[in-house]
Amino acid sequence: MEPIAAFWRSFSRNRLAVVAGLVVVALFAVATVAPWLAPWDPNRPDMRSMFDPPSSRHPLGTDQLGRDVLSRMIYGSRVSLAVGFVSVGIATVVGVLLGASAGYHGGLIDALVMRLVDLMLVFPRFFLLLAVLAFLQPSIWTIMVVIGLTGWMGVARLVRAEFLALREREFVLWSQSVGAGGVRIIWRHILPNALAPVLVAMTLGVPAAILTESGLSFLGLGVQPPYATWGNILNEGKDSIEIAWWLSLYPGLAILVTVLAYNLLGEGIRDALDPRLRQAVGRFARAMR
């Protein structure tokens, strides 16, 4: 329990990170209770209320079909967070598997994995996503998988660097000397000691995935109606920004606050776990760009 207590003492000194953590918890709460919290059906049109400005009846106004923007924003938080977490989960699994194999075995496996990473990084990620989605039917699951499978390179490089440093440590050499297999050494001895930077990278990867999904939805290539996401609410509001400014302001603020909260939380976790992680996570952040 002492490491946990030490982590919390260090984390709690960072007030911005604590506030960001509270915002993230609030977002989770909103997404969880969305069916009970939303005052209206997010997909129910009302032609008598088209482009109603914010009021007591519709606190965030209505859209071009008379749908309540607040309800759509609440339901949109579920989609945005789901895309963020599932896609980052996929990217983490792939990155950990490839990075661990490359870092532990070295040689030809390391060379092949790193050339694959270099090949993937040659293409700008957003344009690679556009190219892939041009051949697939856009859906929430397609978006999750495609974002995940195009975002694992930073995790792989981070895990490989950790494994290269840890595989020469005494506890690994002792495990090899007593006949432990490579798989056991990787999963039981090295990987648990390399998870701290991976945890930070996951926290920083969620806002990147949310931004990517929002950008795709804004272009009409992301999650398709009738699902409400912050990105497609922005997309619907761009043609009527002069008469319905709230359709662009509120989802834009939601994306801004969410991304900022996750970034501040990730930096707080990083500093609390180990200040030396700054350089390693910095490499991950540059790779994600």
CATH of domain 2-14+60-288: 1.10.3720.10
Contacts (Cβ under 8 Å, ≥6 apart) of 246: 53, 54, 60, 61, 69, 237
pTM across the whole model: 0.83
Give the start-to-end residue ranges of the domains of the chain.
2-14+60-288
Residues of the chain with pLDDT under 70: 1-3, 171, 175-182, 189, 274-289
DSSP state string for 239-266: GGTTT-THHHHHHHHHHHHHHHHHHHHH
| pLDDT tens, position by position, 24-68 | 999 999 999 998 999 898 888 888 888 888 988 889 988 888 899
| Residues 220, 148: Cα–Cα separation, whole Å | 19
The beta-strand segments (E) located in 180-243 are none
d(CA 186, CA 195): 12
Q: How far is CA 259 from CA 211, 266, 278, in A?
A: 8, 11, 19
Question: What single letter denotes the amino acid at residue 125?
Answer: R
Instruction: Tell me the two tokens of residue 26.
Output: 């609030």
